[in-house]
Structure 1
Amino acid sequence: MLDDVDRRILRLMQNDPAQSLPDLAKAMGMTPARVTRRVEKLRTDGVLQPSRAVINWRALGFSIEVSLRITLDKTQPRAFDEFLEAARAVPAVIEIQTFLGRVDVRLSLIARDLPDYQRLYREAILTLPHIADIEALMTVANVKSDESLPI
């Protein structure tokens, strides 16, 4: 699917995602038009996702990240759908993942401090529908957070 030129473009873009297409073309030793066509094809093929701003939530005053492992009451036919709909509406929830196995859902949420987390937990999390069991894991350190791929 990808040739060596595509892989090189992707590596350079991962190393410096803010670089302009002319700068990328210069680094590739190609014309800007050719690099632009390649990048557009990678976007069209779904290899490159749309760009988005990544905001450092810690710089905005959030200091706590908690991972909640949730098991749902699967005797309820719409448990997953109703839970996910309600969880999406909680602004402090920054990530939702679903799983196969004992744990059904993992929520990642942020809070300003421990009292803020306790308030969120009582007012927003414990009110979510169909929770059978919940386990909270507070993040102590983020050892690796890298979305770069070995291309």
Structure 2
Amino acid sequence: MAAPELPNAELAERAAVTPSTLARRLERLRTRGVLKGTRGLVHWPALGYEVEVSLRVTLDKTAPRAFDEFIAAAREVPEVLEIQTFLGSVDVRLAVIARDMAHYQQLYRERLLTLPHLADIEALMHVAQVKEGETVPL
């Protein structure tokens, strides 16, 4: 498995191509939008965030701008790492981190339950990462 920080020469060697071939292929993938960038993955526990929660949210959709207003407010909560929208009984999923359970409870009561247009919210506590899908078989 290649990491983004590998020098192109080493990556080319692992892919069994010349560095110039690798450079052309990477550029072609970027141009086509397949590769959108290079990123770092943060190990949140190393920064003191031990609790991960997935919140499944159903919105009160009687307000015309319920989705827009909810998402705008959720973006303002620094501990919300990810926001996804869905079709179905669950409208939005929030990925949330907290330092510990006390911090999560405070965050839940003071910031998350006050988000606009909430009709229902279900918290799923993260227990273990069984599989992480950072790569696909090519």
TM-score by length of 2: 0.94
SS of aligned partner of 1:84: helix
**Partner of 2:82 in structure 1?**
95
1:93-127 deviations in whole A, cap 9, x for unaligned?
01111111111001010001110000000111011
| Candidates 38, 57, 67, aligned match of 1:70 | 57
The correspondence for 1:39, drawn from 26, 31, 46, is 26
- How far the C-alpha of 1:131 sits from its partner, in A, is 0.3
Structure 1 stretches of 4+ with a deviation exceeding 4 A read none
Secondary structure of 2:109 counterpart: helix
Measure the CA separation in 2 of the matches of 1:42 and 1:106: 30
Sequence identity of aligned pairs in percent? 59
In the alignment, residue 2 of structure 2 is paired with which amino acid? D
How far off its partner does 1:30 sit?
3.1
Taking structure 1 as the reference length, the TM-score comes to 0.86
Indicate whether 1:58 and 2:45 are aligned. Answer: yes
Hey, what does 1:109 align to over in structure 2?
96
Counterpart of 1:79? Answer: 66
Q: Aligned partners of 1:149, 1:26: CA distance in 2, in Å?
A: 20
Q: Aligned to 1:136, which of 120, 123, 129?
A: 123
1:16 aligns with 2:11: no
* Structure 1 residues not aligned, in runs of 5+: 1-14
Cα distance in 1 between the residues matched to 2:73 and 2:83: 11
Q: CA RMSD in A?
A: 1.1
**As a proportion of its length, which structure holds more helix?**
1
- Give the number of aligned pairs: 137
Q: Whole-Å Cα distance in 2 between the matches of residues 147 and 29 of structure 1?
A: 22
> Where does structure 2 lack aligned partners over 5 or more consecutive residues?
none
The alpha-carbon deviation at position 146 of structure 1 amounts to: 2.3
Moved more, 118-127 or 20-29: 20-29
